[in-house]
Amino acid sequence: MSPESDVKERAALHQHKASCHLKALRFRETVFEYTQALNLDPGSGKTLKLRARALEMAGSLAEARNDYQMLQTLPGGRTTEIEKKLAALEAEMVT
């Protein structure tokens, strides 16, 4: 097994653990596991998007906004869906 595939596999394990925590509504643990996965694979737009959603569900709107903004800087990250999500978060943070 190559070092790169080992890192990808470890990142995938953290993603799976995060999914389990999310199903149990353990948001802090969910965010932690997604962060661990991103530490291993920082360019994973999928993981960043999932962490943003978990942060949003946890009520950490400013952090979720930051993740969505970072997502826009990744290739293919500037989508209508993300722009709508950012606009909704901004509106929610104002009220």
pLDDT at 2: 76
Return per-residue pLDDT of the chain as tens, 95 residues: 577 789 999 999 999 999 999 999 999 999 999 999 999 999 999 999 999 999 999 999 999 999 999 999 999 888 899 999 999 999 999 87
pLDDT at 57: 95
What sign has the CA pseudo-torsion 53, 55, 56, 61?
Answer: negative
Q: Measure the CA dihedral 43/49/50/51, to 10°.
A: 80
Residue whose structure tokens are 């909704």:
88
Residue whose structure tokens are 């080992």:
6
CA atoms of 23 and 71, how far apart (whole Å)? 23
- Beta carbons within 10 angstroms of residue 69's beta carbon: 14
Tell me 16's DSSP state: H
Helix (H, G, I), strand (E, B) or coil at 78: coil
Residue pair 60/39 in contact (Cβ under 8 Å)? The answer is no
